[in-house]
Amino acid sequence: MSKGFVEAITRAANQNHSRVVLALDVKGPNTIEKAKKILEETSGYICCVKINKHLILSVGLEGLRELVERAHSLGLPVIVDCKMCDIGPTNLVETSYYFDSGFDAVTVMPLPGWIDGLSDVFHVAKERDKGVLVVVLMSHKGASEFFETIAFDEEYGVFDKLYRIFARRAVKWRADGVIVGATRPDAIRQVKSIVGEVPIFSPGIVVQGGVVEETLKAGASYVIAGRAICESINPADKARELRDITRRFS
């Protein structure tokens, strides 16, 4: 587990009295300018920033350096939502690029497994005091097609839903957090019983139907808000509104 990333997001959460992670899922023309503007307007109401392929593919890693540095200057750690899912050598190269660009944590899909898969990601993250978040169950409707499939967990000798197996692997690998969609509060409760103190990050609030209160009551540590904030007429007001809800669960 990365002491650096966990401490950074905990510090920001306490400083801003917020458990809201801003997903800067900005699209269309002038994406980086839009992202910078939203970051500046909402920085006092969030505890972390998450950047995914909307911006990576639009401006490239070099184009994101200034945005990442600005988030850091505002006291906010930055997650790159890359969902790595490849063999070890490829994962190692990708992870190194992200960390060299200033990101504080990466997201991974657990399917490659540990040996010759995700072990390289975790090792380089530990060396550089960065974070790794494991995707356990996504928030979209189609996620149940495979994440909730019954599979055999050889380590425990039981048949179980795949997302619960993923949660157990995340604990074994000493992940810095797990990702479980806010659209499935029952699954959050089940994952919480498995991962204990490992933070749960929950995307899918508002636009996808996840409810902040239900998500936090179920055991999520942080809620991830993207379109709800970025596509709002007033991003700052929406971020403040969501922040104020999370304050009730501090």
Q: Which residues are catalytic?
A: 83
Cα–Cα distance measured from residue 21 to residue 48, given in angstroms and rounded to the nearest whole number: 5
Q: At what angle do helices 88-100 and 119-127 cross, to 10 degrees?
A: 30
Rounded-to-integer distance, Cα 16 and Cα 28, Å? 30
* Spatial separation of the C-alpha atoms in residues 50 and 68, rounded to whole Å: 10
Taking CA atoms, 217 is separated from 26, 61, 92, 139, 199, in Å, by 29, 36, 36, 17, 14
Number of H helices, E strands in the chain: 11, 10
What is the rounded distance in angstroms from the CA atom of residue 14 to the CA atom of residue 150?
39
Bridge-based pairing state of the strands 78-84 and 222-225: unpaired
CA nearest to 243, candidates 4, 28, 3, 19: 19
